[in-house]
Every structure is written in C-alpha cells, then in structure tokens.
Structure 1
C-alpha cells in the first residue's frame, strides 16, 4: 500500500487527486510569476509580401511607403496616398458632395446594397471610393483625387462621379492642376446604368479643366480596369503608373477566350504598356512626389509667365 502511494506521488497524483505542476521559478519565489506576464503581440505586427511570401516587419514596411524589399507596391488607402503625395503630408480635404442618393435602384444581391455601403464607409472612414484634397506637391498647388480599391473595389458610382466632378471644378476655380490616382474594378453594378453614365459626366468635367488650360495628370495604380480605364483614366495629358500595375479594360482570361489566342507575358502590366506608348512612364512610389512636382511645375511655367505679363 505504501509502495502504491509512493508510485502515485511520483506520477503527480496523491490521495486528494492531481497535484498542480509548477515551474522552478514559482516554487522558489511564488510572487515572481505574477510579475512576469506574457507580452501581447499585435496580430498585424508582420505583413506577408504577396510576391515572395517574405514576412516583413510592419513598421519597416510603413517606412518604405508600403513597398516590399522585392519592389512590390502594395495597395494603400486614399488617406495614405494623399499624405504621401502632398508636401509634409498636409492638405485641405475636399468634402464629399451632398444630395447623392445612396441606393437609387434598391439593389439586393447576397445582401442589400446599403449594407455593403455602410460596411465600406465604416472600414474606410470615407463617403465613397474617391477622396480628394488640395495642397502642394513640391511647392506647386494642385488638386489630388484618389480612388481607394478597398472601398468596393474602387468602383465607379454616382457618388464617385459627383466627387470627381467637384474636384475638377475646384481645380478650375482655384486655377491649379488636377491629379488623380486611379484604382478600380470598373463601374458599380449595384447602380447599373447610372454608374455607367458617370463615364460621360466625368469626361465633360475634364473638358472644363482642359478648356481652362490646366494640366490633368493620371497616375495608374493596381488595378485600373473597366469603365474607369475606358474614361477618365485614359484622358490625361500625361500618364504615369506604379510598377507592375494592372491596367486593362477586360481581364486576361476573357480576352484569351474571346480571341482564342494566348496573350504575351506581362500583358496589361504597366511596363508592357510603356513599351507600346499607352503609358508615359513607370514611377516608383518613393519617387512619385518629386516626379509629379517636376511635371506640374514645367506644365504650369508658361501659364505663370502669361499671368505675370
């Protein structure tokens, strides 16, 4: 019986049931364990590079403007883009146009359109997929608009169309250039023909900018497709693009199935389009502000001289 009890003691069990197993630190100094607590690690401390799979420390990625060591330009929010573009990250935010009907067609798919809108607005803090600001790039005042792909794929809606028109009109009113960073999956299907009508409306707004003799610069980011690429994304005086940005109307698979041919490598990527004259230059994110500043100053030089005369 004594031997059985001894065996129970060695196995960690006694007459009263299982004994608590404690580490040596707790046994020597019982109060120390309460002082040494496990540090909580944020879930988003590391970010995976989509190209290489490399895990990158988030603060390093932020310092690199969300460009990975492999050169992959990750998608960023409209607010980040505006800060990176304007001098010192400072700008005057243009308020979203009022009076836009949110759900003109009362459209439901797997869930009501209004629920999708509310979710996107809560996540982004913006009214719709296009945000705009007024500030300076390398000292040159201008209006900058940015499409946020995280807001329902940056899709072109009535709200986006109204915001674009307001930004264009502000450029004319303030007599400054208009710059846009595009990123979209096309027109917003939940608004049907009303979304498609924005292609014509935004083009007419650009006519006012060009009639005023003001530059309109387009920066194509990944991805720019559909009705956006078929309208204001391809009407710039100069077209820049981020590295490897997808710029297209229809997807590669759809085109291959339609023409029954295999498309060449890199088809619909920024570098491919530069070689064929559709885009003027590919510019890295770190060089974008200085490049835009140089272009805007050059294009506005004659205008400033004529105003002085």
Structure 2
C-alpha cells in the first residue's frame, strides 16, 4: 500500500505509528481500547478553527443519548447530524473533534455529533434507533444533512432506510436535504479493493471487518443487514459519496454509487487518490482534508432549500 500513498499520507502513517509506540497503551479491556483510541488522536485534533460547543443529551426511554453540539457564529438554519467511525466499538466526539469543528465552520451549520451506543454492549439496531431518536428530537423546520465516516457512514444509510420505512417519520425525513458519506462499508461481497488493500498489515484486514460485524450483530440477526447495495433508494435526497483510494472499502462506495444512480438519486462520487481509510481525521497534516470539506460545503444541497 505504501507505494500508492501520497507523501503526506506516508508522513501521517509514520507519525501515527510513532504516537502508538510512545503511548504504548494497554488493550486488556474495552474501556482501555476506547480510551486508547481517543488518546492516539489527541494530537491530531489540536489546531483548526474555534467553535463554541456544548454537550447535549436526548432522552431515549430510561436512558440518554449523549453528544456534542457545535455552533458557529451566525450559523444558518441547517443542522448536520454526524455519526463517527470506529468499527461500532470505539470512537466519540473527541476522536473527531477537529473534523467536526471544520465542518461546522465551512458549512456554517450547527453540527450535532451523536455519541450512539457502542458494541458489543449495544447491538444492532440500537445504533440506528439512537440516531433516529436524535433526529426526531430536533426543533425547527430547517434543512438537515446526515454525515458520517466509516461505520458512521454505513449507519447513516441505515438511518435513512429506517426513516423511509417509518410512516410517522415523515416530517423529519422531508427535512433531510442530503447525506455526505465518507468511506463507509456498504457491501459484504469481495471486491478488488478489499483484495488489494486488506493484506497490508497497517490497513484494515478482512479479520477486522468480520470482528466489527460480530461485535455489533446480536445472535440470530443475519449479517445481510449490512448488505446495503441492492436496497430500494427511490426518493433518497442528494448524496456526496467519498472513498479513499488506498482503502479496502473503496469499491463499496463505487457499488453504492451505481445502486443509487439506478434509483435516480443525485450522486456526487469522489475518490481521493493517495490516501487510506480514516484520512479525514488527519487534517492536521493532510491538505486534502480541507479540500474535501470545502467541496462538501460547495455541494451542500441545503444551501438551495
């Protein structure tokens, strides 16, 4: 994989490896794994724009769905609902903070980072239900954008499908102006990119993908719930679909793009050369991250609603 990476992406990989070595974190418990995921990204989240942010919580039965609201000065009436990546088992707002601040400022929109329930403690479809509950709690009538990276992108497609099949969700569904999806997993089939990039020890292996599925799926639920190509996407709003070229999941975005186009969905598909999975979290060293964020802001269909 290294031969295909840009010079900046190689420098990112080297810096990330150095951070891992210096931290030398324990992984004996899930709590340590989650804390380590955030710790390894602390340096990457320094710098970037300043944005007012506050924690929020939405009631869900006897529990609360936590998150963080980013509110730029003079924000438009657009609300971005963001679902972080992390293989369903790790990740939170702090692991994606710089990206979230940058999106909020560039889109001039309030961003709600939803800290949905993590696996294996919470299993499918709890993650979908968490995001739907936050959506249903929104006040106002302004447009909504759904965004996510990695499994968060997968989750947002599932959220849209859940809303499309939920009669009482009509009001909130009609407010969704578009979805921006960064390098998600949308198929369970073998693809050329999975063959090409899963073998690299620094990347995401087939075993990793299978482990994430096992963690989030409860007994008796078929893994086909994660086969999102071939679903009915008629009536879906505009989609910004992003892939990292040096990523096992690259071709997932290609296949989903074709599926969406067949359903008449307006799709903007962008494959970013020279970068690997998770690259949107490395804006501190990767210039292309700011380029992508500006492109998403230019694409933003909520500007025209």
Q: TM-score range by the shorter chain?
A: 0.3 to 0.5
Structure with the greater relative contact order (CA < 8 A, sep ≥ 6): 1 or 2?
Answer: 2
TM-score (norm 2): 0.40
